[in-house]
Amino acid sequence: MLGRIVVLGVLLLVTVLSNVSSVSAVDSAVSVYEFDTAEKVLVLTFDAGADRGYAPQILDT
């Protein structure tokens, strides 16, 4: 089940990024402010406290 969610998340990200109209990059991060699409899109984000070292623990689960 988790594998399917990850694949779906990657496909959603690829779809979103292929429709991006405004992107700003800081180091290796990508910020998407808006994008053009005729489809309904849901984008989920999280702040894992990367500066506190929590991101690797979350991504490794």
How is residue 35 written in tokens? Answer: 């994008």
Residue 46 CA, distance from chain mean position? 9
Q: What is the largest CA-CA distance in the chain?
A: 38
Q: Domain locations in the chain? A: 19-25+32-61
pLDDT: is 9 or 7 the higher one?
9
Query: Nearest CA to 20 among 33, 7, 8?
Result: 33
* Mean pLDDT (whole number) for 2-11: 48
The alpha carbon dihedral of 7, 4, 47, 12 has a sign of: positive
Q: What is the pLDDT of residues 17-48, one digit of tens each?
A: 555 555 544 455 666 677 777 888 777 766 65
Residues β-bridged to residue 54: none
- How much is the pTM? 0.23
Instruction: For residue 11, report the phi and psi dihedrals to the nearest 5 degrees.
Output: -65, -40
